[in-house]
Amino acid sequence: MGSDLFDLTGRIAAVCGGAGGIGGRVAAGLARQGASVAVVDLDEEGAGRVAHDIQALGGRATAVSADIATSIAATRCVDAVVKELGALDVLVNAVGFNIFKPVLELTDDEIQRLVSLNLTSALLISRAAVPAMRRRGGGKIINFASVTALFGSPGQSVYAAAKAGLVNLTKSMALEWAPYHIQVNAVSPVMTETAINAAWLAANPDRKAGIASAIPAGRLGRPDDLVGPVVFLASRASDFVLGQTLYVDGGTGAVHPLLK
């Protein structure tokens, strides 16, 4: 009986950044629990592959090519999801982008892109999704933050600042939209092995091992580590959870800084 808490049959989910390493696994995980999934990404071909893989396993999925960096684009994206799948119950903001550079080396365009992709896009698509969710009597919004939101992060300062802003935004949106029965929460991974950081990790042979040694669990994150937490936050099991950030970080955020 307990497994019924996590059943998403009949629910419509949109995963922004769904063509990425984490987003793709999350989209597939939601589909395995019975959700129909819109795989949303600027990478049309990648979104199509993820949707096709879900369909091949018997799930219902569609690919939506969208750039959600403006209000108009975000609204059009939600409209496309509703047109394709009929409604919207769950929104996962898994868009992420990082540039590993000191602040003094970042260009204005790079700073703008970091803030836009890691913070502004989540705000715009979440706001656009609210009317559709209200028509359904409620919904779930799940933002992807980062454990870097907890710490100063030299070499990725703007990324960390944007994710810290997303944690606070999650709390504020949760409070504003609680009367509409929309639960807004976040998951916050430690560094996870995906294409977003593959080149940076590979550039220094000792980097991966060094980071893993600082994580109590003894390894970097994997995309599959995020599936269960997202399913929980997307399901009725989390109906009384609002404005929280679930740190899926192998214990990193629990370590007292003087003990590191």
CATH code of residue 83: 3.40.50.720
Portion of the chain with pLDDT greater than 70, in percent: 98
Determine the average pLDDT of the residues in 139-159.
93
By percentage, how much of the chain surpasses pLDDT 90?
77
Q: Is residue 254 part of a domain?
A: no
Asked whether residue 258 is domain-assigned, the answer is: no
pLDDT band at 2 (very low <50, low <70, confident <90, very high): very low
Return the pLDDT at 3.
Answer: 59
Contact of 153 with 159, CB cutoff 8 Å? yes
Is residue 241 domain-resident? Answer: yes
CB 41 within 8 A of CB 20: yes
What's the mean pLDDT in 24-30? Answer: 98
Asked if the structure places residue 234 within a domain, the reply is yes
Residue 212 belongs to what domain range?
A: 2-247
Confidence band of 213 (pLDDT split at 50, 70, 90): confident
In a domain, 90, yes or no: yes
Entry pTM: 0.94
What residues contact 185, with CB distance under 8 A and at least 6 apart?
140, 141, 142, 143, 170, 174, 233, 238, 241, 242, 243, 244, 245, 246
Q: Which residues are annotated as catalytic?
A: 159
Q: Is 170 inside a domain boundary?
A: yes
Residue 138 CA to residue 131 CA, distance in Å, equals 10
Computed on alpha carbons and rounded to an integer, the radius of gyration of the chain in Å comes to 18
Count Cβ atoms below 10 Å from residue 198 Cβ, excluding itself: 11
More confident residue, 67 or 59: 59
- In-domain check, residue 189: yes
Band (pLDDT 50/70/90 cuts) for residue 260 is low
Rounded Cα distance, 90 and 128, in Å: 13
Asked whether residue 252 is domain-assigned, the answer is no
CB-CB contact of 94 with 18 (8 Å): yes
Q: Count structural domains, the chain.
A: 1
What average pLDDT does the structure give for the chain?
Answer: 94
